[in-house]
A and B are shown apart, each in its own frame.
Chain A
Amino acid sequence: MRTADRTTEFVAFTRDHRRDLMRTATLLCAGDDAMAEDLVQTTLTRLYLSWARVRRADSPLAYARRSLTHVFIDETRRAHRRRETTSADPAGELVTEPVVPGADPDVRAVVLAALTSLGPRQRAVVVLRHWHDLDVAETARVLGCSPGTVKSQNARALAHLRAVLGAADHLLLEVSP
């Protein structure tokens, strides 16, 4: 494959899909913009280095999203303890910050806080299942785990999100299991 072709295709791909990757990364990182940008940069570099695989993929964007998720999981394995502190009962902690019914809560901040209180893999399951609409089998394939693990992680994550977001008067989530 000629370098010029790879360059042209990479630039076009990045122009078309960087925003999509950044949105996914932002969700995976629970709003940590700097970490999300790092993940996207790392992912794009890896894609460029293996551009022949990207070209062969049925869906280059799906391939890129999968790579991004792997970069995220790898990063959280290395930096999980440093970057995130998980409380024993994050829902309870959030509820102690009262959301006044009828007031105008910052929904984004509430959702961010809810996502932050999930573990990285649970967050990845939520993003893949409910943002990218992947089915259980495909989510399991991306994360390298069993479908059963995806189902249980998803159920726990949704229960947690419902508990946290339900505390905010406006956020009564309707999601399919």
Chain B
Amino acid sequence: MTPTHDLKDALGLVAETGRPVPDPGDDLARAQGAARARTRRRFRVGLAGLAVVSVLGVGSATLLDGTDQRTTQVSPGGVQLVAERFDAAPYSFDLTPRGWSVQGQRPQTVTIAPDDGSTSSHPDDFVGKLVIMFDANPPDGREVEHDGRTFWVSDSGGGYTTMATRTRGDEPAGVVRIQYPRDAGWDEDSMLAFLASVHVGDTAQLGMG
């Protein structure tokens, strides 16, 4: 046996199992079956005319997407916002991002993750996700007017953008923010529309920001 002095060499000894690589057709059949199941699920949702809202506790997801909703906006990156209201108490949204689901909801924050499994299932891990936050810190960044309201856009670093706006007059006073990854198919216009659709309920609590 050849002595191993390098960790990469040692890992290579473990990594290579010598097992034959299965036919890609097996993986394709499995994936297509999952896609069909998802389509059937969406179809059922569409027939019912409802968004499926299931809250199963921490770590569970709420399926937001359906197929028969009117698409209101498609970002260049491909995220579709549909005119479908959903709740993530104490917050509610007039628009639903197709293919994204509520992963965690608290009085201070809501975490929304893509359905493709590309991110952690832990709601406090924000990498690759949308995070809606409510706090009392003053908004900062570039000012943008949208739908009669002022929004502030700033670079959060690490490939993330944060957008903020003051709550409406009939909502608890504060600033609602959204942080989103720029490489996940969102653009500024679609995110402006999404943030503008957020309603802050009475039981929302100001976070530390």
> Please, what's the 1-or-0 string for B5-25, where 1 marks a CB less than 8 Å from any CB in chain A?
111101101111101011011
Given contacts A46-B117, A74-B121, A77-B122, contact A175 B6 (CB under 8 A): yes
Interface centre among B38, B114, B117 (most CB of A within 10 A): B117
Q: Give, as a whole number of angstroms, the nearest-CB distance from A170 to chain B.
A: 4
Q: Give, as a whole number of angstroms, the nearest-CB distance from A176 to chain B.
A: 9
> Please, what's the 1-or-0 string for A25-59, where 1 marks a CB less than 8 Å from any CB in chain B?
01100110100000001111111111011001000
Interface centre among B27, B30, B116, B127 (most CB of A within 10 A): B27
Residue B141 CB within 8 A of the other chain: no
**Interface SS of chain B: helix, strand, loop or mixed?**
loop
Are A49 and B19 closer than 8 Å at their CB atoms? no
Chain A positions near chain B (C-beta within 8 angstroms) = 7, 10-11, 14-15, 18-19, 22-24, 26-27, 30-31, 33, 41-50, 52-53, 56, 63, 66-67, 70-71, 73-74, 77, 104-105, 107-108, 111-112, 115, 126-127, 130-131, 141, 144, 158, 161, 165, 170-175
Given contacts A11-B24, A48-B35, A173-B6, contact A144 B120 (CB under 8 A): yes
Residue B158 CB within 8 A of the other chain: yes
A14 to B, closest residue via Cβ: B24
Are A73 and B120 closer than 8 Å at their CB atoms? yes
Are A63 and B11 closer than 8 Å at their CB atoms? no
Task: Give Cα A22 to B16, complex, Å.
Answer: 9
Are B5 and A11 closer than 8 Å at their CB atoms? no
Task: Give Cα A105 to B13, complex, Å.
Answer: 13
Partner of B17, one of A22, A44, A126, A158: A22
Q: Give, as a whole number of angstroms, the nearest-CB distance from B118 to chain A.
A: 5
Q: List 28 contacting pairs A-B, 8 Å CB cutoff, sorted by A.
A: A14-B28, A18-B22, A22-B21, A23-B15, A26-B14, A27-B14, A31-B14, A33-B17, A33-B19, A41-B27, A41-B30, A45-B27, A46-B116, A47-B31, A47-B116, A49-B38, A56-B78, A70-B120, A105-B1, A112-B14, A115-B14, A131-B11, A144-B125, A161-B7, A171-B3, A172-B5, A173-B6, A175-B6
